[in-house]
Amino acid sequence: MIINPVHIVHYLSYYLCWIFCIYLASYGYPLLGLIITVLIMGLQIIVQILNQLPWRDALYFSIGLTLLGAITDAIWLYSGMIYFKANFFGSHFPPLWMVALWLSFGFNLVVLYGSWLTYYYLWGLVMFPSIIFAYWLGVQFGAATLIGSEVVFYLTLGLTWSLFLPLSLYLFNYRHRK
């Protein structure tokens, strides 16, 4: 098996963004995670350009997914299910570091798994435990606090994104006739 160095850059970039956003949020730094994520994504785009690889579609998808992620996170906030630390907006809008996480996730999903984006059922199955684990880690590291029933929140979160991610991918692929 040949390991693509560009993919290694993107994998590391995604996890660096995740770690920086969660770690800095848990210590009360609301902007640093976003700034670092934007810088890392800028470097990722440069890597894509230098290697003559596509990046615009990944960026467009990540912006759309970020809007959907921000809306769902706002619903969790308004419903009183979760509280995000390091949030300028209080309970009115998700924090900027969460916006950064959605941007990074969407971009890296497309650049890393471009040939797998039509496997909607697989993404639905993978997303259920993955997003639950990601939010659970965020809570464990102190970047967020769950209010009320953890089971209800995690089941709602997992089921929601088991539907929303495949639907987002379907719309993305439909736009590109895949």
pLDDT at 2: 79
> H or E segment at 120?
helix 120-140
What single DSSP character describes residue 3? P
Task: Note the pLDDT tens digit of each residue in 20-63.
Answer: 999 999 999 989 999 999 999 999 999 999 999 999 999 999 99
Asked whether the predicted pLDDT for residue 93 surpasses 80, the reply is yes
* Residue 25 CB partners (closer than 8 Å, separation 6+): 33, 84, 85, 86, 95, 97, 138, 143, 144
Q: What angle do CA 99, 90, 140 make, to 5 degrees?
A: 65
Task: Note the pLDDT tens digit of each residue in 121-163.
Answer: 999 999 999 999 999 999 999 999 999 899 999 999 999 999 9
Distance CA 109, CA 17 (A): 14
Instruction: Judge if pTM exceeds 0.85.
Output: yes
Please state the rounded mean pLDDT for residues 63-81.
Answer: 96
